[in-house]
Amino acid sequence: MSCCSSIPVPLADASAPNPASAKEIWLASRDLGDGLRQVILALPDVHCAACIAAVETALRKIPGVELARVNLSTRRVTINWRAKDGDCPEFAGELAKIGYVSHLTSFEDGTRDPLLASLLKALAIAGFSAMNIMILSVSVWSGADPATRHAFHLVSAALALPAITYSGRIFYRSAWTALSRGRANMDVPISVGVLLAFALSVYDTFQNAPYTYFDASTSLLFFLLAGRTLDHLMRGRARSAVGALAKLAPQGANVILAGGAINYVPLAEIRPGMHLLVAAGDRVPVDGVVIKGISELDCSLVTGESRWKHVEAGTAIQSGVLNLANPLTLAATASANDSFLAEMTRMMEAAESGRSTYRRIADRAAALYTPVVHGVALISLFAWLHATGDFHQAVTIAVAVLIITCPCALGLAVPMVQVVAVRRLFERGIMVRDGSAFERLNEIDTVLFDKTGTLTLGEVCLVNAGSTRPDILSLAAAMARYSRHPASVAIAAAGAEWKQFSRVFEEAEEFHGCGIEARAGDAVYRLGRPSWASTTPQPESGERNRSISVLSKNGEAIAAFSFEDALRPGALELVHFLHEAGVSVGIVSGDSHAAVSSVARQLAIEEFSAELLPSEKVDAIRALSVADRKVLMIGDGLNDGPALAAAHVSIAPSSATDIGRSASDFVFLGHSLLAVKEIMQTGSRADALIRQNFGLAIAYNVMSVPFAIAGQVTPLAAAIAMSLSSIVVVGNALRLGAGIETGRAIIRAREPATVGG
C-alpha cells in the first residue's frame, strides 16, 4: 500500500546531523525582500501525500509562515516566513512534535538506498520462515501424532520468531510512530494482526492445542513485504532533476584580479562586478556581460535555440550556456545564488513539489481502510466475547478478521501492474521513471510540445543538396570540415559521397560568427554568412524557418545553401492520434516565432507560443492547471526542465539533457514520437487494470469478511484466503503483458523509417 503506513520510519542515524536550531536556520535562510525570508530543510522521513499534508499543515500554523511546500522527490520543504526583529520560528521543534526530523541539508548520499536493503532483508527472512513453517504444517495437517505435532509447533515458533521480530519491525515502528502522535495508519491493524496471531499461536503451542497459526503470521508478513518492496522500487525510480541541474553548474570560476592575475574561486564566492575568464569549452558560471572577446555560444540547453549565438563586447549572457570558440571576459551581473541556473533550480523544486501533492489511488484507499478494519475486528471481538464468554475464541475470530482483511491484495494491486507495464514499455525502448505516472497519464486532456529536439530532431539539415552541382557541393563540404558549426556539419555530411570532386586547400581559417575562408592558388573561397561571404546581396529564403549560407569565390557568390530543422519521425501521426482522441495540442518553445509557426503549420497545430523563457513555459502550464486542465509536457532541453516537472505528466526523448530526462516520468530511446502513443495506450490499460485489482480486492473482502465474523474461518484459513486473493491480483496484472510482440509488430509497421543520427 502506497502511503505513510507503507513506508517505515528510519531509525535514528548516528551519522546524521542534529536538528537545526532557530539561529542556524536564520543564517542559512535567504532574504526575499520586504521582510520575507526563505529556508529549505531536509526531511528524510517524508514518503507520501499524507506526510506532505501533515508537514505543511503543521508549518502553516506557525505565526508568520506564508508558504510551506514539501518536495517529495528531494524530501525537502521550502518555508517562506515573515521575519520580525530577526526572530526565527522553531521549525525543527514543531516538525519534531509531529514525528519528523529536519536538517538544514540532506545527509542522504543518493548512491545507496538503505530502506530498500532493509526491505529486501526483511522479505528474505519472512520468506524463509514462511516456507519452512508451511512444510512443517503439511505434516501436522496430515495427521501427525500429538508428540510430533507439539514438536513441530515448537520448531515453527522458533522459525517464526526471526520473521516476527526482524521482518515485522518495519510495520511495528511505523504503527508505533503513528499511535504515539495520536493517529492511526495502515500498519496498525497489520501489526496487531501479526502479533496477536503469533501470541495466540505461542499460547496454543504450550497448551498443546491441535492448531497454531505461525504459518498465517509469517505468510502475512511475506506477502505484505513483497508488495511494499515492489512499490518502493517503483517510487524509487522517480529521482529529482534538481541534482542533475546542480551538476550542470561549474564548481568555480576564474576571476581576473586587479593586477591581471587569475585566481580560481568557488562559485559561492563570486559577486556582481567581478571579472571572469571563460575559456572555450567551459560553461558560463554566472550571468554576466561580455567586456572582451568574440565567440559563439551553444544556448540550446538554456533557450532551446538550435543555432549558435554570436556574442561580443556588450552582449548579456546567462549562466549554463557553453562557450564554443574563443575565450571571453565577463563582468558578473549576479551572484551564483541569483543567477539563471539558481533560478532554474528554484523553479524546478517548486514545480516538483506541485506534482508530489498528487494522491494515488492506493493513498486514497489507505485513508478509508484503517478505521474500517479496526472497527470490524473490534466489534467481532466484543460481540463474541459477550455471546460466548470465551476469550480465546473471541480473540481467535478477531485475529481471523484482521488477517482476512489484510491489505496484501491492495498492496500488490498497484506495484504489480506497474512492474508489468514497465517491462512492456522497456520492450518498446521506453524507460519509466515514476510509476504513479500511469495513473496521472489517464487524466490528460492537453499535450504541450517543445519544438527544437522534440517535434524536430534538433539537427540542422541541408535542404537543397539535390539541386546543387556535385562539384560545388564537394567544394563546400571540403571547407565545411574545418568547422564544427551545425551548418558546416550538415554540408560536410551531404557532400561526403562526392569525393571524386574533393579539393585541397593551401590554408583555411574559421572566423567565428562569420564562416570559413580557404585559399587554393589565387582563389579565395568563403563559406558562411551571406553578408560576410559575398559582396553581392543574396535573396532571402522562401521559408521563414530556413537559414542561408553562401559559398563565394573571390567575393562572388557561386552557391547558396538552405537549412532547416527536420521534423522528428512520427510527429505528424502522433498529432493526428491526439486530435482524434479529443486532446488539445499546443507548442511552447523558446525558438523564434517564424520557426515555431512553420512547424505548427506543418503539423496542423493551431495553438503555439514562441520565444518563451523557462519561467514563461511554467506559467503557461500553471495557467492551464488553474483552469483544471491536466497537461502532458513533451520536451528535451534544460529550458524545458521546470515545465516538465510542473506538468501533470512529462515525457522526454533520450537525446534530452540530463535535466530534461531527470524531470520526466518517461524517456523514450528511439527517434519516433510514436513512442508517446505507445506510452499513452499502455498507461490507459495499466490504469484500468489497477482499478480492476482494487475492485477484486474489495470484492474479496466483501465476500470473505462475513464468514470470518461468523466464526467460520480460522486464522490459518484466513491466511490461505488472503494469499489466494493476492495471487488473483498478480494474475490480473500479468494480463497487461499479453500480446507484447503483437503490439510491437503493429506499431513498427506504422512507424516511418528512422532518419538522422
Residue numbers annotated as active site:
450
What secondary structure does DSSP assign to 549-561, as a single string?
EEEEETTEEEEEE
Angle in degrees, CA 207, 212, 214, rounded to 5: 130
Give the separation between CA 385 and CA 645, rounded to whole angstroms: 55
**Count of Cβ atoms closer than 10 Å to residue 679 Cβ:** 25
End-to-end CA distance of the chain: 43
In whole angstroms, give the CA distance from residue 25 to residue 521: 72
Q: What is the number of other CB atoms lying within 10 angstroms of the CB of residue 444?
A: 21
Cell numbers standing for residue 669 = 530511446
Question: CA–CA separation, 251 vs 282, rounded Å?
Answer: 12
Summarize the chain as % helix, strand, coil (round to 5): 50, 15, 30
Contact (CB, 8 A) for 450 and 650: no
According to DSSP, the residues that pair with 266 across neighbouring strands are 252
Is 245 in contact with 341 (CB distance < 8 Å)? yes
Residues in the chain: 757
Relative to beta strand 666-668, strand 649-653 is parallel
Closest by CA to 436, choosing from 674, 231, 646, is 231
For residue 668, list its beta bridge partners: 430, 653
For the record, the C-alpha cell of 745 comes out as: 509488430
Query: How many Å apart are CA 163 and CA 64, to the nearest integer?
Result: 48
C-alpha 271/C-alpha 346 separation (Å) is 20
